[in-house]
Amino acid sequence: MLTTFNLGSLMPKTLLKLFVLFVLVAVPAQLWATPQMVENIFHNWRFSGDNHRYMYASCISFSDPDLNPGRPGVLLSNGGIYPNRLDWGHTLPADLSVPPDVILRARLWIDGFLIDSDNNYVGIQGIWTWDPLNQWGYDNTTYDLTNVTVDGFWNSSPLLVSVLAGEQKLRIDQAYLMLDYTGSNVVPEPATLALFGLGLVGLGITRFKK
């Protein structure tokens, strides 16, 4: 029995496979990467790093199912298959406006891993003069933003952060922006309300005695 093949019907499929193979080989792998970021907003949140309870916290967790499947974090590198930059944004409180509001305490904590040089760059709201990521201990870096005097720094949400890799491989797992601030729209803490109530009672007693 003689079997014949229709070359005309096979050509489109063959060409398609060759095209897909070419794209996979020719296009850098980082263009296929889709880093994922999950943000959670907390109020009256305690940070274990300094054991302080913050009024507001934006906590972001990173993952990359394409280039780091099944593991936490996004891998960065100044060469190879990994992207050399990671950008993200922290949602700021809707009622925050500086001035008239005042930042009492502000910290940005970046949880890194595999950091082994000081050649990495960090940008916050477009400012790139911050210290590089910490390469010692657990590779965690905390930036004190309390006394930032740049106009409009706190008035443009989200607060933009970038990490530019200057080494072969590092990983960014999490980032926390934590704030204490005062303003006309800030809801007083229960203790403050209690003291204010006692003041009203005292005022009533004083008036009654008169």
For the stretch 61-114, pLDDT in tens is 999 999 989 899 999 999 889 999 999 999 999 999 999 999 999 999 999 999
Q: Is 59 left (phi over 0), alpha (psi -120 to 50) or beta?
A: beta
Instruction: Please report whether residue 142 resides in a domain.
Output: yes
Instruction: Tell me how many domains the chain contains.
Output: 1
User: For the chain, which residues score pLDDT lower than 50?
Assistant: 2-5, 7, 10, 15-32, 191-210
Structure tokens at 126: 């477009």
What range does the domain containing 162 cover? 29-204
User: In this structure, is residue 1 part of a structural domain?
Assistant: no
- pLDDT, residue 13, reads 53
DSSP letter at 8? H
74 falls within a domain: yes
The HSE-up count of residue 206 (CA atoms within 13 Å, CB side) is 6
Residue 11 resides in a domain? no
Tell me how far CA of residue 22 lies from CA of 26, 83, 117, in angstroms. 6, 21, 36
Separation of CA 4 from chain center: 60
Residue 13 lies in a domain: no
Is 7 part of a structural domain of the chain?
Answer: no
Q: Is 9 within the bounds of a domain?
A: no
Q: Which residue, 142, 128, 205, is CA-closest to 174?
A: 142
* The pLDDT of residue 137: 76
Q: What is the pLDDT of residue 14?
A: 55
What is the per-residue pLDDT for 205?
Answer: 36
Long-range contacts of 125-128 (CB under 8 A, 24+ apart): 125/150, 125/153, 125/156, 125/159, 125/160, 126/160
Judge whether 68 lies within some domain: yes
Handedness of CA 49, 154, 132, 104 (dihedral sign): negative
In terms of pTM, does the model score above 0.75?
Answer: no
